Chains A and B, each alone.
Chain A
Amino acid sequence: NAGVTQTPKFRVLKTGQSMTLLCAQDMNHEYMYWYRQDPGMGLRLIHYSVGEGTTAKGEVPDGYNVSRLKKQNFLLGLESAAPSQTSVYFCASRVSPGYDEQFFGPGTRLTVL
């Protein structure tokens, strides 16, 4: 199993550009999450999904959209990138809402100029 994978690993955008981050998991997990990690702020939840076709807002959803058309994929979109969105983005998944492990991807480092 590849676990949780993220593409791309690095990206540099100019202000106003758009892009999509892809998260894929091959563990048949129902729950998927997008976090951002910033110095001094820790990990903050952007959006999450509790199953195929469902998405919901997390703690810091503004400026982002998500889609979960297939169970294994969770996409994070930035329609008009801003410098404040410079961050490291992590995707995670888990099989159930119980007290089980949440698996993380390797992260995407995004810089918005």
Chain B
Amino acid sequence: SQELEQSPQSLIVQEGKNLTINCTSSKTLYGLYWYKQKYGEGLIFLMMLQKGGEEKSHEKITAKLDEKKQQSSLHITASQPSHAGIYLCGAASNSNSGYALNFGKGTSLLVTP
């Protein structure tokens, strides 16, 4: 099965600073999803990447899938307290699991004033 490793596990940054979260797969990624989870709440879809080299942005969050399609990075520019939460990367599985997403263990982000 496909394993996703996220780094770092946790991150504390000062408001206004930039940060990057990485997601590395043991197999080729055919669809890489980024979700954000506020503490104690559900998962909010951020974006999905499919093609090697693809880059997408939403407000101050940019995600990229590398050319080899085995690693993705999520970059936040000028972090704000509203960015705090758990960031999860997920990979599309195959029909054996009903195309469910396999997830990394998440990166916990805290933004301090």
Contact = CB atoms under 8 A, between A and B. Distances in A.
A48 B104 CA distance: 19
Interface in A59-104: 59, 90, 92, 94, 97, 99-104
B97 A90 contact: no
Interface stretch (B14-22, B37-45, B56-64, B70-78): B37-45
Contacts of B48: 99-101
Contact of A101 (B30, B45, B97, B106): B45
B24 to A, nearest CB: 14
Interface residues of A, number: 28
Contact of B105 (A42, A102, A105, A107): A42
Nearest to B103: A43
B103 to A, nearest CB: 4
